[in-house]
Amino acid sequence: MVRKQLMQYKTNEVGTASQARLVLMMYDGLIRFLNESKKRMEAKDIAGRGLYLCKAQRIVSELLDTLNIQQGGDIALQLEKLYNFLIVNITQANIKGDPKLVDKSLEIVGNLREAWVQVAANAQANATASSQRGPSVPRVAIQL
C-alpha cells in the first residue's frame, strides 16, 4: 500500500514538474546512481557496478536525446560534448572498475547540477514576476 502511494506521488511529481525541475531530478538520479556504483566497486560487486553505471548512462543518454541544438545554440553544443564525454567516461569506469573515473563524472554532473539550480531559480523568478504584473504584460516563454 505504501509503495503504491509512493509511486503515485512520484508520478505526480514528474508530471507536474517544470522542465528545469525535470533536468534537476535527472541530475539527482545520475548522482545517486554514480555514487551507488562506487559503493559497488568498493564491495567488489561487478554486477552491481554494471547495473548502476548502466542506469547512469541511460540518464545521460536521455539528457543527450532531449537537447535542442537549434534553440540551445552554443550552450546545447557544449552540453552535447559533456554528455558524450560522460557516456564514454562511464563506459570506461565500468570496463576498468575505476572509481576515479566515476569521481570525474560526479564532478562534472555536480557542476552541471549547480548551474541548473540557477536556471530553475531564474525561471521561477521570471514566472513569479510575470504573474504579479497581471495579464496585460505578455509572458516570456523560457526554453530550457
- pLDDT digits 0-9 by tens, 64-95: 999 999 998 999 999 999 999 999 999 999 99
pLDDT at 114 over 90: yes
pTM of the predicted protein model: 0.76
pLDDT at 126 over 90: no
The span from the CA of 23 to the CA of 8, in Å, is 20
Average pLDDT, the chain: 84
pLDDT at 20 over 90: no
Which pLDDT band holds residue 17 (cuts at 50, 70, 90)? Answer: low
H/E element, 116: helix 99-133
Residue 3 confidence (pLDDT): 58
Q: 19-117 in CATH: which number?
A: 1.20.120.340
DSSP string, 25-76: HHHHHHHHHHHHHHHHHHTT-HHHHHHHHHHHHHHHHHHHHT--HHHHHHHH
Q: What percent of the chain has pLDDT over 90?
A: 65
Residue 137 confidence (pLDDT): 37
Residue 130 confidence (pLDDT): 61
Which pLDDT band holds residue 142 (cuts at 50, 70, 90)? Answer: very low
- Please tell me whether residue 144 adopts helix, strand or coil conformation: coil
Domain boundaries, the chain: 19-117
